[in-house]
Amino acid sequence: MVKSIHGTCKINYQPEGPDGPTEEIDFTPPFKRMSMFPELEKRLQVKLPHPSTLDTLEAVEILDRLCANHQVECQPPRTATRLLDKLVGHFLEEECINPTFIMDHPQIMSPLAKNHRSEKGLTERFELFVCKKEICNAYTELNHPFIQRERFNQQAKDKAAGDDEAQMVDENFCTALEYGLPPTGGWGMGIDRVAMFLTNSNNIKEVLFFPVMKPEDNKPKEQAQENGQL
């Protein structure tokens, strides 16, 4: 699509507007792939807690120290999920100018994704980033009702600790899984962000097909009706 529109897989994009610096984005396939934990360990030059232990207090303390040592801000609650997300954003996402897949997210960050078939504590999930922005999120759907309920319970603990992005326990969904869900893959792309890159727009409002609407004020019309003017 990029080559069809621009005649080349390389495009120029100005993330700060027409007066700002220009980034060259190369959409030439295949896109780079980053496995989250090995790549993060390279940048931090430390051995991270094993993904299957991220719900322990020791793992949270290690991630908390890493954020503090590298001046990576993380507002409370400083849960393992939030701390790890901030580290990934600071060290990995900032490198993703050309399209890059960040893969193999830990289970604690992916409550709806299926367990990785060969790596304990990870899931079969990837996110695609372009110019530091996420444009795609995809994963193999978790279809085991008991494991899904455990994941929801962990999310509920994080939510109770103050994490607004954590999910609540969805009993209806777990019940539906008990009846059976075939192997399923979920895939979603932010086509508006793709349109921003292809049109060199730095404001998402410039590419939305339907503009943001103001609430309609009916009071003047109602008053005119009462006065017999309409």
Domain boundaries, the chain: 2-226
Mean pLDDT of 220-228: 60
The Cα angle at residue 29 between residues 140 and 33, in degrees rounded to 5: 50
Of 54-58, 112-116, 159-163, the poorest mean pLDDT is in: 159-163
pLDDT at 216 over 90: no
Residue range 73-123, pLDDT digits in tens: 999 999 999 999 999 999 999 999 999 999 999 999 999 999 999 999 999
Of the candidate ranges 45-54, 98-107, 172-181, 212-221, the one whose mean pLDDT is the lowest: 212-221
**Mean pLDDT for all residues in the chain:** 91
pLDDT at 165: 82
Q: What value does the mean pLDDT take over residues 179-200? A: 93
Q: Residue 25 corresponds to which tokens in the numbers above? A: 């984005």
Give 210's pLDDT tier (boundaries 50, 70, 90): confident
According to CATH, the superfamily of the domain at 2-226 is Bira Bifunctional Protein; Domain 2 (3.30.930.10)
Pair of tokens at residue 100: 């890059």
d(CA 155, CA 134): 22
Assess whether pLDDT exceeds 60 at residue 176: yes
